[in-house]
């Protein structure tokens, strides 16, 4: 099945996508991760998107659509993608529909993680990722000592360059203006479900698993 994870920056899309991947073996496709990798290696794409990402704006639909078509067209991913961070505006949602049609696939669910703004700011400013196992922690809610003790033994934790208070305000504004209308698009298609994203991490996954299990059966 194909699933979209929707929700503002910091809602927990990446974290929950990893849980869904672990449980159901459906790969996560994160446009943000793909772009960050390009910036890290300094590719042409990376150079093109670096500044706009740092400012909290959206990179062009053309760039994103190429990245997405690359994945959707790959038989390995046929009808088995968790879309994380895409679509980010109505144009991308419509293009996704066209690509799914072109490659004979369907969207099963759009899951919307709902979280209040004050919590989002804490989740974003506290977010750190282990450079070795890619697990995400939060210095307020899930201190990274867990990783050092239990996960991969690494201590190199990195903070995303756009996870600062100044950029967050812009990212939340971009979400309200550009991404929020996408919810209505999937609501009208009858495949959107709201999830209470304010709960504890495992309680959120339980809600997601229940919905996914019902649709898969």
Q: Which residues fall within 8 angstroms of residue 5, CB to CB, at 6 or more apart?
A: 13, 16, 17, 82, 83, 84, 85, 111, 113
DSSP strands (E only) in the chain: 3-6, 28-30, 82-84, 109-114, 127-130, 136-138, 157-158, 192-196
Site for ligand AMP in 144-173 (CB under 6 A): 162, 171
Does residue 8 interact with ligand AMP by CB under 6 A?
A: no
Phi first, then psi, for residue 166 (nearest 5°) are: -65, -45
Q: Segment near ligand AMP (CB under 6 A), from 48-56, 141-149, 181-189, 207-215? A: 48-56
Nearer to ligand AMP, 90 or 198 (CB): 90
Nearest C-alpha neighbor of 191 from the set 4, 19, 65, 30: 4
Query: For the window 122-141, what string marks contact with ligand AMP as x by the rule CB under 6 A?
Result: --------------------
Token readout for 82 is: 């968790």
Answer for which of 85, 126, 144, 197 binds ligand AMP (CB under 6 A) is 85
Q: Does residue 31 interact with ligand AMP by CB under 6 A?
A: yes
* Candidate residues 7, 8, 56, 144; the one interacting with ligand AMP per rule CB under 6 A: 56
> Which positions lie near ligand AMP, rule CB under 6 A?
9, 31-32, 35, 52-53, 56-59, 64, 85-86, 88, 92, 162, 171
């Amino acid at each position: 099945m194909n699933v979209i994870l929707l929700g503002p920056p910091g809602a927990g899309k990446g974290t929950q996508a990893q849980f869904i991947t672990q449980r159901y073996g459906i790969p996560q496709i994160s446009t943000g991760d793909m772009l960050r990798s390009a910036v890290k290696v300094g590719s042409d794409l990376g150079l093109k998107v670096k500044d706009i990402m740092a400012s909290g704006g959206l990179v062009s639909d053309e760039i994103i659509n190429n990245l997405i078509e690359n994945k959707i067209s790959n038989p390995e991913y046929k009808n088995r993608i968790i879309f994380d961070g895409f679509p980010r505006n109505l144009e991308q949602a419509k293009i996704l529909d066209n690509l799914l049609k072109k490659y004979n696939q369907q969207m099963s669910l759009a899951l919307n993680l709902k979280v209040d703004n004050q919590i989002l700011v804490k989740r974003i400013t506290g977010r750190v990722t282990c450079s070795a196992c890619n697990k995400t922690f939060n210095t307020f809610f899930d201190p990274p000592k867990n990783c050092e003790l239990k996960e991969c033994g690494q201590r190199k934790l990195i903070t995303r360059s756009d996870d600062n208070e100044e950029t967050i305000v812009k990212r939340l504004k971009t979400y309200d203006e550009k991404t929020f209308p996408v919810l209505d698009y999937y609501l009208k298609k009858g495949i959107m479900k709201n999830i209470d994203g304010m709960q504890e991490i495992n309680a959120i996954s339980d809600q997601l698993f229940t919905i996914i299990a019902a649709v898969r059966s």
